Copies of this chain bind each other. A is one copy, B any other.
Amino acid sequence: MASPVMPSSGALSPLGLDAVRLAPGFWGDRTALNRDVVIAHCREWMEREGWIGNFRGERPRRGREFSDSEIYKLLEAMAWADHPDLPELAAVVARAQESDGYLSTRWSQARYTDLEWGHELYCYGHLIQAGVARLRTHGEDELTGVVRRAADHVCDHFMDSTRTCGHPVVEMALVELYRATGVERYLEMARRFVERRGLPALGEISFGRAYFQDDMPVRQAQVFRGHAVRALYLASGAVDVAVETGDAELLKAVETQWERTVARRTHLTGGMGSRHTDESFGEDFELPPDRAYSETCASIASVMLSHRLLLATGDARYADLAERTLYNVIATSPALDGRSFFYANPLQVRVPAEPSEGVNHAAEGGLRSPWFDVSCCPNNIARTLASLPAYLASADGDGVRVHHHASGEIRHDGLTLRLETGYPWSGRVTAHVVEGRAARISLRVPSWAAGATLSHGGTSRPVEPGYATAEGDWRPGDRIDLDLPMQPRWTFPDRRVDAVRGCAAVERGPLVYCAESAGDEPPLARIAVDPAPPAEHHTDGAVELDVTARLTPAAEDTWPYRPDRPDLSDEDGERVTLRLVPYHRWGNRGPATMRVWLPLA
Contacts and interface: CB of A to CB of B under 8 A. Distances in A.
Interface stretch (A75-83, A304-312, A453-461, A487-495): A487-495
Nearest to A531: B565
A558 interface: yes
B362 A562 contact: no
A350 B498 CA distance: 11
Contacts of A185: none
A206 B558 CA distance: 33
Nearest to A262: B559
A495 B528 contact: yes
Interface stretch (A94-102, A155-163, A284-292, A431-439): A284-292
Nearest to A361: B206
A499 to B, nearest CB: 5
Contact of A493 (B266, B350, B491, B561): B561
Contact of A496 (B259, B266, B560): B560
Contact of A562 (B266, B491, B556): B491
Interface in A321-351: 348, 350-351
A182 interface: no
Interface stretch (A120-128, A243-251, A500-508, A532-540): A500-508
Contacts of A208: 361-362
A283 interface: yes
Nearest to A494: B560
A393 B259 CA distance: 58
A302 to B, nearest CB: 14
A291 B285 contact: no
Nearest to A207: B362
Nearest to A259: B557
A285 B566 CA distance: 15
Contact of A563 (B288, B289, B492, B528): B492
A365 interface: no
Interface string A546-560: 000000100111111
Contacts of A361: 206-208
Contacts of A503: 501
Nearest to A260: B557
Contact of A501 (B291, B350, B501): B501
16 contacts: A263-B560, A264-B560, A275-B291, A276-B277, A283-B290, A285-B560, A289-B498, A492-B565, A493-B560, A493-B561, A494-B555, A494-B560, A494-B562, A495-B552, A501-B501, A502-B502
